[in-house]
């Protein structure tokens, strides 16, 4: 019986030591990944500043702000009634193509809400839909102020 107890003790100690090594490895892995994420955030911020893609925020004029990808590159755009669209030249080119093609965004299907034609000059709804269509992938949309009849709406899509 004494041998069984010693065997169980040895097995329990070995398991505890293994768990300690695993938890230490997991903590180290988490630390490395956190550092990598911080470096990526810093690189993205430097990239945005270097490209000068978006002017400083003027919240009084901001109707919406969209972030996402344009042909695999991070991009963002802001639109306000008096400032118009502020974005990278690559995104602006895509927006101009969407407008030139005369894209139409369907209404509600019941005929109560008409379709919206792609435009940057026909109000915040048309501008929002046009800019969203111009992104390869939208990752976040923030809408501000009375432009949409709400105080603030934010939505993220992965």
pLDDT in tens, 12-43: 999 999 999 999 998 898 888 888 888 888 88
Q: Measure the CA–CA gap between 120 and 94, rounded to whole angstroms.
A: 13
C-alpha torsion 58→123→147→44, nearest 10:
-40
Whether the pLDDT of residue 84 is over 90: the answer is: no
pLDDT at position 105, please? 81
Q: Measure the CA–CA gap between 104 and 123, rounded to whole angstroms.
A: 14
Q: Measure the CA–CA gap between 86 and 7, rounded to whole angstroms.
A: 71
Highest mean pLDDT out of 10-24, 46-60, 100-114: 10-24
Residue 79: both structure tokens together: 């639109």
For the chain, which residues make up each domain, given as ranges?
A: 1-51, 64-156
Whether the pLDDT of residue 55 is over 50: the answer is: no
pLDDT in tens, 128-151: 888 988 999 998 888 876 555 544
**pTM of the predicted model over 0.75:** no
pLDDT at position 106, please? 79
Residues 49-70 have a mean pLDDT of: 65
Q: Measure the CA–CA gap between 96 and 131, rounded to whole angstroms.
A: 10
């Amino acid at each position: 019986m004494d041998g069984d107890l010693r065997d169980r003790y040895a097995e329990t100690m070995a398991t505890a030591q293994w768990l300690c090594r695993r938890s230490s490895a997991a903590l180290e892995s988490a630390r490395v990944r956190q550092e990598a994420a911080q470096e990526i955030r810093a690189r993205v911020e430097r990239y945005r500043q270097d490209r000068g893609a978006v002017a400083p925020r003027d919240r009084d004029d901001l109707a919406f702000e969209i972030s996402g990808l344009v042909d695999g590159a991070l991009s963002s755009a802001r639109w306000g009634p008096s400032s118009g669209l502020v974005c990278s030249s690559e995104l602006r080119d895509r927006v101009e193509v969407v407008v030139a093609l005369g894209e139409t965004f369907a209404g509600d299907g019941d005929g109560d809400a008409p379709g919206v034609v792609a435009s940057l000059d026909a109000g915040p709804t048309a501008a929002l839909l046009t800019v969203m269509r111009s992104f390869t992938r939208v990752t976040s949309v923030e809408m501000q102020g009375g432009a949409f009849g709400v105080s603030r709406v934010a939505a993220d899509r992965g």
